[in-house]
Structures are given as structure tokens and as C-alpha cells.
Structure 1
Amino acid sequence: MAVLALLIVGISKGGMGGGLGVLGVPLMALSMPPAQAAAILLPILCVMDLMALKAFWRRWSWAHLQQLLPAAILGIVIGAFTFKYFRASDVRLLVGLIAVGFALNYWFKPFQRFAIGKPGAKSGLVWGSIAGFTSFVAHAGGPPVNIYLLPQKLDKTVYQATTVLFFTIVNYVKLIPYAALGQFNSANVGTSVLLLPIAAFGIWLGYKLHHRVPEKQFFQVAYVFLFITGCKLMVDGISGLIA
């Protein structure tokens, strides 16, 4: 499951826009505790972020980042302080809800209309904090950031660079609470190191497929997969709660 998840995430980051980082934890959580899946993925995502950051250096929009980043850090803090109250079944249910909700938003965009207009403090606080929290729980901050950024009609390169810097900062900030919560044990870190070549191969494959596979079709299939995975996790989470 981890190999499949990292291939999809790597392909997405390498040439399909990077939005499918949301799929990593739900897919891996089918065969391991969600918290462990998130801990294994985080160091790999940090390495991926550095690779992407070099390609988009200084092309980002500070106006948008200034609205999103403080709120995202707030969301990370909330996630860190509430982490101890979540059981494995709770996290499965939460990750499942996030996966299903983001898939539905990709298809129907019910939240998109709330973010239209110039970057403002209110929308930045709402979507930035949601992105920080969902990123902490399941590395699933991409959809809330997209809900905020896409209506701004940014240049494609500026948009990509803005998301790259945002998640580079967010993921490296997350290393602190993850370490404090004991998530980086030898087993998790060893698995991250073992899987890193798979992630690199996925990025290379995404680059090669960028001009050969239609992006729209790729995301349509992937979000169907995300929706089905989210439904399975929701069922598992609810079963654990009533057991």
C-alpha cells in the first residue's frame, strides 16, 4: 500500500500538479494505523518539497502566503494539541471524511464560491487553518489551499510556486510536533528511508508522463480511488467506535 501510495503521490508531484498528496495517508491507512502512515510519509514529503522548491525558487506570491501561512501554523498547533485525544478509529473516521469531502469538492466544488476575490484575511484564516489541521492529521492540506488559491486566477507558475513554498514550510514545521509526539521511532524512520527511492521514481515517472497522460483523466481516476478509500476508512472508523 505504501509503494502504491508513494507512486501516485510522486507522479502527482512530478508532473500532475501535486494535488494528490491527499491520497497517501488514506491509502496507507488501509493496512496500518493512520498516525503511523502520516509519520512515515512526512520525511519523504519534506525531501520531495526541497526538490520542487529548487524548480520554483522566488516565483511565489507573498500576498497569498502572508494570509495562508500564519493560519496554517495555527491549524498545526490545534492538530498537535488534540492529537492525544484521538483513537485509531477516530483518526480513520476523520481521514475518511477528509478524503470523501475533498473528492466531492473536486467534482462539485461546493466551497469554491466562498473564496472568490482578492486574497483577504478572513478567507486566508479559514482555509489556511483548515489546511494546517488536515495537513497535520493526514498530509491533506492541498484541497483547502486550492479552494483558496484557484479562484484568484494566478499565473500557472506563480500558483505552483506558491503551493510549493507553502507546503515546504508547513511540512518542516510539522516535524517539530511529530517529533515531540514520538512519531519518529526507528521503525517509522527506517521505513521512510526504504521508501524514498519509490517516491523519487514516482516523481521521475510523473515528469515523463506529464505530456503523455491527460491530467484531467489522471485526476478523475485518482479521485474516484480517493473517494472509495475514504468510504472504506469511514466504515472502519465507525465500526471501531461502536465496537
Structure 2
Amino acid sequence: MLDVLSSPWALVALFVLLAYTTEAMTGFGSIVIALSLSALVLPLEVLMPVLVPLNLVLSGYLTLRYRRLVHWRLLLTGILPMMALGTLAGFVLRPALGPGAQWLFGALVVAFSVRELWRLRRARPAAAHGPLWSRFWMLMAGLTHGLFASGGPLLVYALGGVQLDKSRFRATLVLVWFSLNLLLTAGFLLNGALRAQWPHLLALVPVVLVGIVLGEALHHRVDEHRFRQVLFSVLLVAGLALLVH
């Protein structure tokens, strides 16, 4: 029987708890948080076949519970077509990155964290993009999702200026992740990457369930501005560590 408390999976379990509590609160961030922190102790190619299917537990639950809040027009005519195309391209291109994958992922995390911390410090609302730029950034979000299962940062940027309340925004995003991560999980099944990671995947499912309970409880109780400041500061440090790891 797998001992998930043995190092380094004990650290991965802690990172997964933080990451999935965050996504249950805000609607995005589970994989980019878990992957950026866990990549300090395990390779990306080991982590992705575990973290991507794990997200199906959270995003599937939230999708079923909040399906009536989903902005279907935005999802079906804007987000999913562009992101699905980018995700397929990223999945095909990822093996070609080789050892450079970790450095590229670290650079992405640093850039995202710096941008978010700057925006939070200035307390300015996100600026709206034109239709073409929005679709371009959705495509890029799909590409980073296919490469690192971390399309959330660019998708949130692409949706800058979209007028949705917090609950509808979260419901729409989690359905995006459920759809795209189902696609990636099928890819991991086909290429055999998932088969070797089944024990770790099953051992971490209870951690995700705890994260769901915590995130749901904290969704309306936590000062999201302060929480995001702390979170992106941690991600910035993790991204910098990945660049020199």
C-alpha cells in the first residue's frame, strides 16, 4: 500500500490541500498552485498525470452544484473553442520541450505572480480587451493548459473586463477546467502516463475532498484581496525557485 505520508509526497499533499481549497474559493488556481510548488520536489512529468485527473474531482463537483450559474454563451461561443484548440496544440508540443519545460513553467509563474501582485497593489479593475485580443489570449491560455495544465492565469487575463459576479465567474471557470482536464486525462490514459501514477492519484483524492469542504466554507468568509496577496507572493517565490532549481 502506498504511504502518501512519505517524502516527497507528503509535501505534495500539503500543496494540493492549499491549491484545491483556493480553487473551491475562487474558481481557478488548483493546478498552477499545486504544480508550481510540487515541482520543487518532483518532476513535472510525474506530477501532471496526478494533478490533472485530481482536478476532475473538484471541478466535476462544483460544475454539478453550480451549473445553473454558468454563463453558457460565453463558455460555448468564446472560451471553450479557443482553449480546446490551444490545449490540443500544447499537449502535442509538450514532449518537445524536454528539460526546458520546468524553466518555461517557472517563468510563466513568475510573470503571472508579478502581474497579479502589481494589479492588487494598485487596486485597479482589470481592463477590458477587444474581441480579437480576448480570443488570442484564450488561445494562449489553452496552449499553456496543454503544456502545463495551467491555463487559469491567462484565461483570467483574457476575461479582463467581463462583467460577471464572483459566483457566476467561478461556476463558468470550473466547467472550463472540467472539460479541458477531461481531455488531458484522456491523453494521459492513451500515452500510458496515468497508469504508473494511479496509487498516488487515489491517495490524494481525500485531500482534494477536504479542500472542497474548506474552500466552500471560506468562499464567503475570507478577505479575497488579502488572501490573493499572500498566495501570489508564495507563487512568486516558488516560480523563482523553479528558475534556479
- Quickly name the TM-score band, shorter chain normalised: 0.7 to 0.9
TM-score, length basis structure 2: 0.85
TM-score, length basis structure 1: 0.86
Instruction: Look up the match of 1:168.
Output: 178
Q: How does 1:165-204 map to 2 (within 5 A)?
A: 165-186=175-196, 188-204=197-213
Q: CA deviation at 1:123?
A: 2.8
Output the amino acid matched with 1:141: G
Of 93, 113, 129 in structure 2, the residue corresponding to residue 82 of structure 1 is 93
Q: Which whole-Å CA distance do the structure 2 matches of 1:230 and 1:185 have between them?
A: 29
Give the count of matched residue pairs.
229
Output the amino acid matched with 2:243: M
Cα 1:208–1:56, aligned 2, differ >3 Å: closer, same or farther? closer
Instruction: Look up the match of 1:21.
Output: 31
Instruction: Look up the match of 2:67.
Output: 57
User: Structure 1, residues 152-182: CA drift from partner, whole Å, max 9, x if none?
Assistant: 1223332222112111111111122222332
Q: CA deviation at 1:136?
A: 2.2
Instruction: Look up the match of 2:6.
Output: none
Instruction: Look up the match of 1:94.
Output: 104
Output the amino acid matched with 1:155: D
Q: CA deviation at 1:212?
A: 4.1
> Stretches of 4+ moved more than 6 A in 1?
none
Q: Which whole-Å CA distance do the structure 1 matches of 2:221 and 2:87 have between them?
A: 37
User: Structure 1, residues 72-94: CA drift from partner, whole Å, max 9, x if none?
Assistant: 1111121122122122x311101
Output the amino acid matched with 1:154: L
Q: Which whole-Å CA distance do the structure 2 matches of 1:142 and 1:46 have between them?
A: 15
Instruction: Look up the match of 2:83.
Output: 72
Are the equivalent residues in 1 in contact too, given 2:83–2:143 (CA < 8 A)?
yes
Q: CA deviation at 1:133?
A: 1.8
| Secondary structure of residue in 1 paired with 2:159 | helix
Instruction: Look up the match of 1:241.
Output: none
Q: Which whole-Å CA distance do the structure 2 matches of 1:85 and 1:7 have between them?
A: 31
Q: How does 1:103-114 map to 2 (within 5 A)?
A: 103-109=113-119, 112-113=126-127
Q: Which whole-Å CA distance do the structure 1 matches of 2:168 and 2:133 have between them?
A: 19
Q: Which whole-Å CA distance do the structure 1 matches of 2:140 and 2:14 have between them?
A: 27
Q: Which whole-Å CA distance do the structure 2 matches of 1:168 and 1:78 have between them?
A: 18
Q: CA deviation at 1:211?
A: 4.3
Output the amino acid matched with 1:21: I
Are the equivalent residues in 2 in contact too, given 1:136–1:174 (CA < 8 A)?
yes
Q: Does 1:33 align with 2:43?
A: yes
Q: Which deviates more, 175-184 or 32-41?
A: 175-184
Q: Which whole-Å CA distance do the structure 2 matches of 1:70 and 1:211 have between them?
A: 31
Instruction: Look up the match of 1:239.
Output: none
Q: Which whole-Å CA distance do the structure 2 matches of 1:21 and 1:12 have between them?
A: 10
Q: Which deviates more, 166-175 or 133-142?
A: 133-142
Q: Flag structure 1 segments of 5+ consecutive residues without an equivalent.
A: 237-243
Output the amino acid matched with 1:27: L
Cα 1:21–1:217, aligned 2, differ >3 Å: closer, same or farther? farther
Instruction: Look up the match of 1:240.
Output: none
Are the equivalent residues in 2 in contact too, given 1:9–1:18 (CA < 8 A)?
no
